[in-house]
Structure 1
Amino acid sequence: MPSEPRGQRPNLLVLFPDQFRAQAQGHRGQDPVHTPNIDRLAAEGTDCVRAYSNSPICSPARAMWQTGRYPFSNGVISNCHSGHARYGIYLKESERCLSDVLSDVGYEVGYIGKWHLDAPTEPFVSAPEAWDGHVWDAFTPPGPKRHGHAFWYSYGGFNDHLRPHYWRDDREDRVEFQGWSARHETDVAIDFLRNPGGTQRDAARPFALTLSWNPPHPPHDQVPEEYLEHYRHCTPRELLRNPNVEGAASPAEIARACASVQGYFGAITGIDDQVGRLLACLREEGLEENTLVVFASDHGEMMGSHGRMQKGSFHEESTGIPFLVRQPGRIPAGRRCEVLLGMPDVMPTLLGLLGLGAEIPASVEGQDLSPALLGEPHGGPEALLYLNAMPALNSIVDWVHAGAIDSLEFNSARLRALDAEPEQAAHLVALMAGHPTGSRAVRSTTHTYVISRTPGQPEVRQLHCRATDPAELGNSLETEPEAAAHHHELLLALLEKTGDPWAHSPLESPVSFRKSRNPTAAPPTRRRSAASPSR
C-alpha cells in the first residue's frame, strides 16, 4: 500500500459542491436526505455548525474563500460573466490566494471542476446564454490567473451536468465528456490521489487538491436515476419540510420547488456517493492519516423557503453551508464547533490548520479560527456580515472613500450611470445621491439584522431571533429594541471594516427608523431582492 513520506506537512483535500445547503446533511436531522458518507465524515471530524456564506452567490463566495478578503476588497462583488467584466468583477492576478501560498511553500496544488472566477472576454469560448444574453464560461490560461494551481482540469461556469467539458493547458484542446460531471471529476481526483507511476504529482511533496463539483447546482433534472430512487417514494411536500415553505407568498416558486426537490436531494445523495469514494481512496492509498479533508460549499439553496428558489438572500437556507473538517489524530472527532465562520475566515483558518499561520498574507481580512476547530478555546467573531451588492458599484468603488461622494455633482453621476447596464443605472444614481442600494445584514449567534434598499421603494428592516423564530417568519424589530440597536452597531462596524459604500451613507438608528416608518408596511420575508442573481 503506498503512503505519503513521513514528516511532511499535512495534505489538503477540499470537497466543494456548489449550492449545497447546510440543512441537506443527514446527521443534522433537518432535510430528509440520504448522506451516509458525509455523516461518517462528520462523526470522524468536527462539524462547524455556524458556517455561513457572506455573499451567497457563486463568484463572490469563491473569491472570499480564495483570498480571505471581502468583496469590496477583492473586487468580486457579483458573479463573473461577460456583462460584469466591465466592472472588474473577476479574480485579479494580483490577489494572493490560498493556492498561491500553498504553491510557494512547496505544495503540489490542483484544481478540478468549476472555477467561476475569471471574466469571459472575446473571443468567447461559448455563445451567450439564452436566459440572460451573457457568456458565463471561460478558459483560464496557465500562469498567474491560475494562482499556483499546477494541476488543472477545470472550466468557468457551465451548467450541463451530463455533458461537461474541461480545459487543461490549451484553450483549443477542450475535453468533452458524456456522463454525470460529479462522478467523472471524482474519477480524475482519484487518479490524482493514486498517482500511478508518479504521472499526476510529485509524491515527495504534500498535495492540496480542490474538487469543485457543480451539482447540486441547477439544473435539477440531470441526476442519475440511482440517486433519485431514494426520494421516489416521497411526495414533494414530504421532502419540503421547512415551516417557511408552507403558506409562502409565491405559488410559482413553490411549484418550482416541488418540481425540483427530488432532483436536488438526488444530487445531494450523488455527491455523498463521491465523498465515500474519495474517503475510501485516501484509506486505500495510506493517505488518510496525513490528509486534512474539508467538506464545504459556496452557498445554500432556498428550495421554496419564503417563496424563493436559488440563493442570494440572507435567509438560513441561502447562507448556511456545511463545513466539516477531518484529520485523524489532530481534529477532534464527533465534535460540534459553535464558532461563527464566514467565507473570509476560510483561507487563514486552513493555513492555520496546516501549520502555516505565519504565511497568512497581511492583506487577509478574515480570522484564523483553526484553534476553535482543533478544540482549543477561541471566541471567534461576534458577528458576520452579509451583503448583496449591485455589480455596477465596482466601477465607482474608489469614489466612496470618506468625503468622495460629497464632491461629485448629481448630474455628473447621472451621466456616468447611463454608461452602466440599464438595470444598474438606478442603483448607481442612488449611490451618487449618497443612498447605496442592495441589502446588508449582520448575523450573530442569536439574531440576524437586515437592511434592504431598492430604488423608488421604502427601506425595509428586519430582525430575526433564532431562538424564538428559527424559520425567520417574523420581524422582532419593535419587540427587541435593544437587540436591534446592538446589531445595528455591529453592522456599522463591519461596513467600515470592509470598505463597503454603505459605510459612507446615512444609516439612521433602529429607534429613529421605527419612529419615521412602519417597519411592517412591506412583508419583510417575502420580498425578492432586486440583486438576487439566478446563477
Structure 2
Amino acid sequence: MKLKTGIGILLLAGLSPGAMAQQKRPNIVYIMSDDHGYQAVSAYGYGLNHTPNIDRLAKEGALFTQATVTNSLCAPSRAVLLTGKHSFINGKVDNMARFNWDQDNFAKQLQQHGYQTALIGKIHMDGLPQGFDYSAVLIDQGEYYNPNFIINGQRQQVKGYVTDLTTDMTLDWIAKRDTSRPFCVLYHQKAPHREWLPALRHIKEYTQQTFKEPPTLFDNYAGRGTAAHTAEMNILKHMNWAGDNKIPPALMDELGIQQYLSWDKAAYNNNLGRMTPEERSTWDSVYNPIMEDFKKRYPKMTQTELMRWRYQRYMQDYLGTVAAVDDGVGRLLDFLKQNGLDENTIVIYTSDQGFYLGEHGWFDKRFMYEESLRTPLLIRYPAEIPSGRRSAALVQNLDFAPTLLDYAGIQPPQDMQGRSFRRLLNGKDTSWRDAAYYTYYEYPGIHAVKRHYGIRTDRYKLIHFYYDVNEWELYDLQKDPHELKSVYNDPAYAGTRKTMHKKLEQLRKQYGDSDQNDQRFLNQALKKKAP
C-alpha cells in the first residue's frame, strides 16, 4: 500500500492519527510588552525610533492600525486578554482589585485540549497563575536589574537584565517542551514600563540622541473638559525627577528640587541599588556627565527649556528600553526559524495598552484619547496570513482569547465577549464591529484621570466622564486627529451626537454594562480605602 508522503512519514515515525492532528495545530507565541505606544514601533511610520525585529512581523504578516484596549491600565488589560471579557465582567476593573484566577481563561482551554502552556514575565496580578504548565512571573511591577521572579510558585532572584532574562526563559522553555504537542507561551516583557532603565548596551547610544517633539507637547487643553485639565501626568509638572529622569537624590537636594511623589527618591535608590558594582560603574560612566551638565544649566533654564529637557530624558530612557524588547523579538524569530517552527507558529506582538510619549505634554495612559486607547498589534502566521497585510478593523484585546482558541480549533466559552478576527486576517470575511467600547475606573488614584466610558468608531469618539463630574466629549477624528476640541455642543454635530449616544447605549446593553456596575465598583474601592 502506498502512503501519501507527509502522512506516511508521520505513521512510520509511530505517530497516531490523533497525534498527527495535534501536529497540525499551530503553536502560539503571544508577546506583550508593557506601555509600548504604537508611536514607538517603526512599522507604524512615526519616525521616532527603529524597531527592525518587531517590524519583521508587519512585513511578513499583518499590522492593525486601529487596535484598541477596553481599559487602558496594566492589570485590567491582562485580565481581559486572558478571559475575553470586559473588566466589569471579569472583575479586574483596576490595578487594586483582585483577579479571580478560578474563572475560565483561554490558557485553561488550550490546556484541556492538549496544548502545553507557559506564562513568562510580567502579569501584575496576585495569586498563582492558573492555566499554565509553567510560570515564571515578576512580582508586581518587577525590576529591571537582577529581578525577582516567582517560578512555579517559588520566589527566586535571577541575575541579569529583565528583558533579556524573560527572553532567555521563553526560549529555554520552548526548547525543552514536549515536541509531540503544540504549545502556547505568553512572553510578557516588563519594558518599557516606568521607570525606564535601559540595558547597559543601549544607554550610551540612546542618551546621545535627540528626539522629535510631538506637536502637542505644550498643549493647554483648551477645547476639552475638566478631565484633561486636572489629570496629573504632565512631563514637566508630574514626572518624577530621580526615579524617572535619573537625577540623583543628592543633586536634587543640592539644586533645591522637591519630590512630586513621596517615593521618587526611593525609586531611584531601589532601582539602581539592585545593580552589581560593575553594572553601576558602567551606568554612572554614562549618566554622571549628563547630570553634571544639568547641574550647570538648571539654574538658568526657563520652564519651556526644562520641559524640553525632561522630554528628551524621558524619550532617551523609554526608547532605550524598547531597543532591548526589539532585540528579544529578533532572537525569538531567529530561534523559531532555526528550529523549523516558524511556519507553524503564530507570533503576536502587542502591548497592554498605548502610552503618551509627550503628546498633550503627557506620559502614562488611562485616557480614552488615541495615544492611550490604541495599541500596537502585529501578527505573523505564514500558513494563513499574507505578508504585508494591513487592517483598520476595530479589533480589541477583548478579541485575543477567542481568536487564539479559533486558531487552535477550540470553540470559545459562551461567556467570552470578544470575537475571533481570524477571518479578517485570512481575507475570508471583511465584516466587523463598527464601534469599540471602553471603560476606566481607577479614580481617585494616581495621575487623577477621571472615571469614564465611551465608544470609538472609525471616525468619531464619544466619552462620558463621571463620578465627581458629568461631562461629555465628542471628537471628529478625521478633522481633529489630535483630539484638541470637543464638538459635543457644536450644532453641526447634533445628528452625530444622537447617533453615537444610541450606539453607546446599544453596546452597554450588549456587553452587560450599566450605571449600577459603575456604582458597585466605586463602593468596592471606597470600602478598601476605609480605615
For 1:286 and 1:311, locate their aligned partners in 2 and report how far apart those are by CA, in whole Å. Answer: 39
The structure-2 alpha-carbon separation of the partners of 1:505 and 1:216, relative to structure 1 and needing over 3 Å to count, comes to: closer
CA distances 1:244-297 after superposition (whole Å, capped 9, x unpaired): 223346542556544311111111121111100000000011111110111111
8 Å CA contact retained: 1:216, 1:267: yes
Structure 1 position 333, deviation (Å)? 0.8
Q: Which amino acid aligns with 2:198?
A: V
1:223 correspondence with 2:187: no
8 Å CA contact retained: 1:51, 1:322: yes
For 1:27-38, list aligned pairs within 5 A. 27-38=43-54
For 1:270-285, list aligned pairs within 5 A. 270-285=324-339
For 2:383 and 2:24, locate their aligned partners in 1 and report how far apart those are by CA, in whole Å. Answer: 15
For 1:505 and 1:234, locate their aligned partners in 2 and report how far apart those are by CA, in whole Å. Answer: 45
Structure 1 position 490, deviation (Å)? 1.5
8 Å CA contact retained: 1:312, 1:318: yes
What corresponds to 2:166 in structure 1?
185
Identity across the alignment (%): 28
For 1:195-206, list aligned pairs within 5 A. 195=176, 201-206=177-182
For 1:85-100, list aligned pairs within 5 A. 89-100=97-108
For 1:179 and 1:72, locate their aligned partners in 2 and report how far apart those are by CA, in whole Å. Answer: 38
What corresponds to 2:361 in structure 1?
307
What corresponds to 1:147 in structure 2?
130
8 Å CA contact retained: 1:160, 1:219: no
8 Å CA contact retained: 2:63, 2:378: yes
Q: Which amino acid aligns with 1:295?
A: Y
CA distances 1:135-190 after superposition (whole Å, capped 9, x unpaired): xxxxx34xxxx22200111134134211211112344xx22123210101101111
What corresponds to 1:377 in structure 2?
429
What corresponds to 2:515 in structure 1?
502
For 1:369 and 1:117, locate their aligned partners in 2 and report how far apart those are by CA, in whole Å. Answer: 27
Structure 1 position 35, deviation (Å)? 0.3
CA distances 1:299-358 after superposition (whole Å, capped 9, x unpaired): 1111322232211111111111111111113111101012111121111112123333xx
Structure 1 residues without counterparts, runs of 5 or longer: 119-139, 196-200, 392-422, 428-436, 507-529
Q: Which amino acid aligns with 1:460?
A: E
For 1:459-498, list aligned pairs within 5 A. 459-477=470-488, 478=490, 479-498=492-511
For 1:122-133, list aligned pairs within 5 A. none
The structure-2 alpha-carbon separation of the partners of 1:504 and 1:320, relative to structure 1 and needing over 3 Å to count, comes to: closer
SS at match of 1:271: helix
What corresponds to 1:247 in structure 2?
219
Match of 2:405 among 351, 354, 372: 351
SS at match of 1:193: helix
For 2:371 and 2:503, locate their aligned partners in 1 and report how far apart those are by CA, in whole Å. Answer: 23
For 1:151 and 1:294, locate their aligned partners in 2 and report how far apart those are by CA, in whole Å. Answer: 20
8 Å CA contact retained: 2:344, 2:383: no
What corresponds to 2:252 in structure 1?
none
For 1:60 and 1:176, locate their aligned partners in 2 and report how far apart those are by CA, in whole Å. Answer: 26
For 1:397-436, list aligned pairs within 5 A. none
Q: Mean alpha-carbon deviation: is it higher for 326-335 or for 106-115?
A: 326-335
SS at match of 2:24: coil
For 2:182 and 2:500, locate their aligned partners in 1 and report how far apart those are by CA, in whole Å. Answer: 43
For 2:458 and 2:153, locate their aligned partners in 1 and report how far apart those are by CA, in whole Å. Answer: 47
8 Å CA contact retained: 2:59, 2:388: yes
SS at match of 1:52: coil
For 1:301 and 1:290, locate their aligned partners in 2 and report how far apart those are by CA, in whole Å. Answer: 32
CA distances 1:229-257 after superposition (whole Å, capped 9, x unpaired): 4544433xx333x3222334654255654
SS at match of 1:480: helix
What corresponds to 1:77 in structure 2?
93
After TM superposition, the score normalised by the length of structure 1 is: 0.73
The structure-2 alpha-carbon separation of the partners of 1:504 and 1:319, relative to structure 1 and needing over 3 Å to count, comes to: closer
Match of 1:176 among 139, 152, 157: 157
For 2:153 and 2:352, locate their aligned partners in 1 and report how far apart those are by CA, in whole Å. Answer: 28
What corresponds to 1:234 in structure 2?
209
Structure with greater proportional helix content: 2
8 Å CA contact retained: 2:207, 2:313: no
Structure 1 position 467, deviation (Å)? 1.2
8 Å CA contact retained: 1:17, 1:296: yes
1:331 correspondence with 2:331: no
Q: Which has the higher contact order (CA 8 A, sep 6+)?
A: 2
For 2:311 and 2:419, locate their aligned partners in 1 and report how far apart those are by CA, in whole Å. Answer: 36
The structure-2 alpha-carbon separation of the partners of 1:355 and 1:244, relative to structure 1 and needing over 3 Å to count, comes to: farther
8 Å CA contact retained: 1:244, 1:473: no
Match of 1:387 among 439, 446, 453: 439
For 1:352 and 1:71, locate their aligned partners in 2 and report how far apart those are by CA, in whole Å. Answer: 22
Structure showing greater Rg: 2
Q: Which amino acid aligns with 2:383?
A: G
8 Å CA contact retained: 2:88, 2:517: no
The structure-2 alpha-carbon separation of the partners of 1:31 and 1:501, relative to structure 1 and needing over 3 Å to count, comes to: farther
For 2:60 and 2:166, locate their aligned partners in 1 and report how far apart those are by CA, in whole Å. Answer: 24
8 Å CA contact retained: 2:80, 2:87: yes
SS at match of 2:465: strand
1:8 correspondence with 2:24: yes
Q: Which amino acid aligns with 2:423?
A: P
1:41 correspondence with 2:57: yes
Structure 1 position 56, deviation (Å)? 0.5
What corresponds to 1:162 in structure 2?
145
8 Å CA contact retained: 1:296, 1:321: yes
What corresponds to 2:40 in structure 1?
24
For 1:9 and 1:329, locate their aligned partners in 2 and report how far apart those are by CA, in whole Å. Answer: 11
Structure 1 position 91, deviation (Å)? 2.5
After TM superposition, the score normalised by the length of structure 2 is: 0.74
CA distances 1:21-51 after superposition (whole Å, capped 9, x unpaired): 1121111111511100111111000112111
For 2:98 and 2:420, locate their aligned partners in 1 and report how far apart those are by CA, in whole Å. Answer: 25
1:291 correspondence with 2:276: no
The structure-2 alpha-carbon separation of the partners of 1:341 and 1:239, relative to structure 1 and needing over 3 Å to count, comes to: same
CA distances 1:416-456 after superposition (whole Å, capped 9, x unpaired): xxxxxxx59xx9xxxxxxxxx8211111111111111242x
The structure-2 alpha-carbon separation of the partners of 1:272 and 1:248, relative to structure 1 and needing over 3 Å to count, comes to: farther
Q: Which amino acid aligns with 2:158?
A: F
